[in-house]
Structure 1
Amino acid sequence: MSRNSRADIVVVAVEAGLLAAAIGVGAVLNARGVRLWADAAPLFAVWRPHAGWGTPLAVALAALVVWRGPALARRAPWPWLLAAGYAGTVGWILSLAMVDGWSGGLAQRLTPQAEYLTEVPRITDVATMLAGFTDRIVDFQAGSWSTHTAGHPPGALLAFVWLDRAGLGGGGAAALACVLVGATATVSVPAALRWLGDEGAARAVVPFLVLFPGAVWVGASADGLFAGVVAGGLALLAAPRWWCWPLAGLALGFALYLSYGFVLVGPLALAVVALRRRHRVAALTTAGAAVLGVAVAFTAAGFRWWDGYRLVVERYYQGWAADRPYGYWVWANLAALLLCAGPVLGPALRRTLAEGRGAVRWLPVAAGAAVLAADLSGLSKAEVERIWLPFALWLLVATAALPAARRRAWLLAQAAVALAVNHLVWTWW
């Protein structure tokens, strides 16, 4: 056994220890009445072993990707690879969701009182909504927004309002929109890598993006949609054609109005610009101007991002965050991230830090820096398995540093984790 293989085993053992500790300590704290507000900590879920008609579909798709995925990724013509990757990702997300059934897995995921869809029928005037958005963020007052609406800038609610106005209202359509947009990350991430000059890495990561364990939460949560928007914006920022850069800025600018936490996409965007071979200044200034344009538009409409952020911190501590102990979640969050990104995360990061170069090293480093900043802030206590989806996808770029001979085994491990999570617990997203 080589030194690298032994090191990978050590890293996996550390991952297993972290996960076991998070589950064990979480169970003890829950039994003692500590308000973790997560029955299956470190996941926001409850223990409920179950299966559904999506089970055989998910197992079959996982087996197919493990068997043929790496070879297809190496040899398929580029457009066909991206098309197959996108189709496979949609199939993987939907098959996992169908383990819980159409209603439980998709149609009713976005309809609870805390979600955005409860507010959509009440929005009769978008201009009025934007102008008065911050007035309704703080809880325990007449007209306070639902939990998720209050916890995000108005772009998140706007996305579902626009969907409804397009005739695609209701939980089923909203869930499918999250799935279809979220799955585009399997196109965007490899496209960015290829545009940054590393087609080999771009091809290598596709199967890992298809069998992304975080697909459990992409289908369906609004964070799946957010992940697709962020990935698309970063890919366009890497593109060689100038007309892509303002589109990148519009996507990344709008992302700032989907989640306050997306200020942490900044390190990823700067890494993409730094890794470009040409036109770094032009891409940065053009995209930056578009981001500024989005901010000016929202501000002119009456929503001031900085006021919203200040008030959402107040709202955050009016709810469960006031009870959830920082001392547990600051490290248990990393176990939740591990279940989202999969067991390949540790070995892949170890290898890319030791041996990787270019985008394969610096994009995961930037994503990791964003995650650590979010974790230490205390504003991400629990539920990070969905909140950090946009960053987990870029952490998986590190899988390009894995030896080709081991990729099937790692893909099998990734699929096993996703299937175990989806069948052992009932997630709320």
Structure 2
Amino acid sequence: MRTKPSQAAPPQSPRPRWQRARPLLADLAVVLAGAWLVWRAGVVGQRLLDQGVNLFLDFPPLFASWAPHTGPGTVPAILIALTVVLGGPILATRLRWGPLLAVTYLATLAWTISMTLIDGWRHGVLDKLTSSKNFLAEVPRVDSIPAMLREFTDHIVAGPGSWATHVAGHPPGALMIFVGMDRIGLGGGVAGAALCVLVGATVGVGIGATLRALGEEHVARKLLPFTVLMPGVVWVGVSTDGLFAGVLTGGVALLAIGTSREGLAGDLTALCGGLLLGYTLYLSYGLVLAGLLPLVVLALTRRLRPSLAAVLGVAVVVGLFTAGGFWWWEGYELVEVRYYQGIAATRPYSYFIWANLACLVLATGPAVLAGVRRLAAAPRSLAIGARLLTSATLLAVAIADLSGMSKAEVERIWLPFSLWLVLPCALLPQRQVKWWLAAQAMLALLINHLLRTRW
């Protein structure tokens, strides 16, 4: 029996250059849309100010003022940015995992410190935590932590003897940290600022460790240079929201590591993750939304014993605070009252529900916009863990925005969420990575040199 000779498939002609460039053109279109959103938020915000609406913002939509300047951190910040742009992608592929995480942390720490010092020592470091509205102002008032916990909710609503603004707006966990530091001789603005920067700089390491534990090291290696140059680092140094972001990410990472390991070591690691995640509930009320991230981890790992250990850790923290006299839900209800006694009463929801997103664009940068666009266009192009964690982050941001409890200042308030939006940057083509990293660094440098950010 004779067989017919096989026919070779006709050669495919290469796609026209404009078709090959189409994804990049779509990325740039999304970036331009983000830039337009920022510009529009600024124009409308200034118009509202001119009409007498008190937004409590000098440079809407950001909580900042126009003040072009340089500082002692300017040259180091530029040099570090160039080093990460030119060498970061290569090191991310070649270094062993442990050294890579160490380099990522040190680079993030150096970048954060340099960016902070662009504002100088006083405004960049000393004044950030020591104002009359901040946590350190209330440290001398606390004679006993147990007594403070019992009476905390009595001083949330504005009136005689009420807490300073930032203390009243948060659960007592953050104040307890600074009181504890003061008790061991590490009080004051410098020590507080150092803690925020040192812990805030761990976010990239935590994200990378989470992905590796979920079996997605290849994704982590692609995005680690982007964790270093996220524009949000402008607000990590120095703000307690950077501290909160570090604690949250550490908790998620420990949970992922613990639930992916066998035996007692995995259970104990998951327990530690649960303890950290439980404590995040008492750092900021909004971090209850961050519970979506560990839920993703538990759904992916699906291991009962370490999951129960993590739940036990959360329950222990909640139980201790409740037994100590602070009931989380009561505090949140009183914070809603306090919130609308102050600036929230005049900040219009109709403006900030979309202007907040302009702040998010500035805190995450053009590379994140391009990455999210690519994820939306081809969801399965990103590994499932990174994909679900991104979805959880976007959902948390959407809920926070719609709640009305986030009117402005979200460039720092959403740091625990927004820093996780780096994940889709792993989808950016390797040949373009340096350019996107440069765009991230340029945006951060422009914000820090043209504006005086506050909180």
Q: What are the superposed Cα offsets for residues 176-220 of structure 1, whole Å, 9 maximum, x if unpaired?
A: 100000111121110000110011111111111111111111110
CA drift of 1:326 comes to: 0.6
Contact 1:96 1:422 in 2 (8 A): yes
1:9 aligns with 2:28: yes
- TM-aligned CA deviation for residue 287 of structure 1: 1.0
For 1:309 and 1:293, locate their aligned partners in 2 and report how far apart those are by CA, in whole Å: 20
Structure 1: segments with no counterpart, 5+ residues: none
Between the aligned partners of 1:356 and 1:206, the Cα distance in structure 2 is: 15
Distance apart, 1:315 and its partner CA: 0.3
Distance 1:411 1:163 in 2: 36
Tell me which stretches of 4 or more aligned residues in structure 1 moved more than 3 Å: none
Query: Which piece of structure 1 moves more, 12-21 or 413-422?
Result: 12-21
- 1:385 aligns to 2:411 (yes or no): yes
- Per-residue CA deviation, residues 313-372 of structure 1 (Å, 9 max, x unaligned), is 000000000100111100000010111111112211121231223122111110010000
Matching residue of 1:168? 186
Q: What residue is the counterpart of 1:39 in the other structure? A: 58
Q: Give CA-to-partner distance per residue, 1:371-419, whole Å, 9 cap, x none.
A: 0000000000000000100111111111112111111111001001100
1:407 to 430, 433, 454: 433
CA distance in 2, matches of 1:64, 1:275: 36
Secondary structure, aligned partner of 2:267: coil
Per-residue deviation, residues 246-301 of structure 1 (Å, max 9, x unmatched): 1111000000000111110111111111222x52x333322112111111100000
1:22 to 38, 41, 52: 41
TM-score by length of 2: 0.92
Structural mapping, 1:17-416, within 5 Å: 17-140=36-159, 142-239=160-257, 240=261, 241-276=266-301, 279=303, 281-353=304-376, 354=378, 355-416=381-442
Work out the CA distance in 2 between the residues paired with 1:319 and 1:378. Answer: 14
SS at match of 1:46: strand
CA RMSD after TM alignment: 1.0
Q: Name the SS for the 1:349 alignment partner.
A: helix
- CA shift, 1:24, in A, is 1.3
| 1:360–1:400 Cα contact (<8 Å) kept | no
Q: Could you tell me how far 1:138 is from its partner in structure 2?
A: 0.3
Quote the Cα distance in structure 2 between the aligned partners of 1:181 and 1:234: 14
Count of residues in Structure 1 that have an aligned counterpart in Structure 2:
426
Q: Which segments of 5 or more consecutive residues in structure 2 lack a partner in the other structure?
A: 1-17
Amino acid at match of 1:163: M
Q: State which structure, 1 or 2, has the greater radius of gyration over its C-alpha atoms.
A: 2
Give, in whole Å, the separation in 2 of the partners of 1:187 and 1:271: 19
Distance 2:286 2:24 in 1: 36
Contact 1:352 1:360 in 2 (8 A): no
Give the secondary structure class of the aligned counterpart of 1:426.
strand
How far apart, CA to CA, are the structure 2 residues paired with 1:38 and 1:398? 31
Contact 1:156 1:258 in 2 (8 A): yes
Identity %: 52
